Amino acid sequence: MGSELERMGATKGHEILLTDHQHLDITDSKSVADYFQEHTPDICINAAAYTAVDKAEDEVELAFAVNRDGAANLARACQDNDVPLLHISTDYVFDGSQLLPYSELDQPNPASVYGQSKWEGDQLVMRVLEKHIIMRVAWVFAANGHNFVKTMLRLAKERDELGIVSDQRGGPTWAGDIAAALLEIVDQHASEESIDWGVYDYIGQPATSWFDFASAIFDKSVELGLLEKPPRLNAIATSDYPTPARRPMNSVLDCSKISDNFGIEQPDWRVGLEKVLQELKDNVA
């Protein structure tokens, strides 16, 4: 997401100051305060998170240090400097048990350490800072970093057959679409438009399963010449693929609020997928 923010921000004329945990440790409140004093940002986007969902079940302290305490440190620095915070959250704040799409009014009930650490960070942001946007996203993919699309392409080159979970549903979301949505909010704030601060859901559409998402990845990869042939896919149940952390069965989020308040429409993940696969192909060439 940081790479997409840098690329899109530059095209929109923003001065984007990127940093990482080697240069700014958000778990260190003094480090965060000093960074704000030195760079005096107009707005802060927190795309940092501990996202190793299964490892978090063992690395509890680290997950909470980054996702809860780090978010709180940024919120306090923003409050002290009168800077709005755009904070990325997750579908994992919900347990995924309800059948309908989750809205911003539904009560979170995390079922994993990762989800709990993110939810507690969200609550501290809400408590500390008035000028905040908490954007809940899900199933994020991009040409950079570790994500489902790149994992599927790697496995396709290693195996002829794959079992893919088919009973979890969500909305794959291209990091570029998230970056574009964040920058639209930045632009509206910069133009001194009235901002309705608070929590917003933002995921790709249409809703799909991991199995169908994988099928789309392989079909488009073959079409683009990124793969010679797709692996054979077998639909499996969540119970057939046990993991240390429990995944939400339903990660579909209702995105009408962000459309109503900012005019930001829910993106088609299939468009983002083609862009990512084309970028990956171009990088290989």
Catalytic residue numbers, as ranges: 114
Nearest one of 117, 89, 95, 285 to 173, comparing CA atoms:
89
- The answer to whether the beta carbons of residues 122 and 93 sit under 8 Å apart is yes
Q: Quick check: 146 and 182 in contact, CB under 8 A? A: no
Region label for 61, one of left (φ > 0), alpha (ψ between -120 and 50) or beta (otherwise): alpha
- Integer CA distances (angstroms), 35 to 54, 103, 215, 224, in order: 31, 35, 44, 44
- Which residue has 């639909």 as its token pair? 235
SS (H, E, C) 80-119: HHCCCEEEEEEHHHCCCCCCCCECCCCCCCCCCHHHHHHH
Q: How big, in percent rounded to 5, are the helix, strand and coil portions of the chain?
A: 45, 15, 40
* Single-letter code of the amino acid located at 84: P
Pairwise CA distance, residues 248 & 92, whole Å: 7
Q: Do 26 and 62 form a contact (C-beta atoms < 8 A)?
A: no
Specify the residue for token string 């409140």: 29
Q: Position of tokens 């099928």?
A: 215
Measure the CA–CA gap between 81 and 34, rounded to whole angstroms. 11
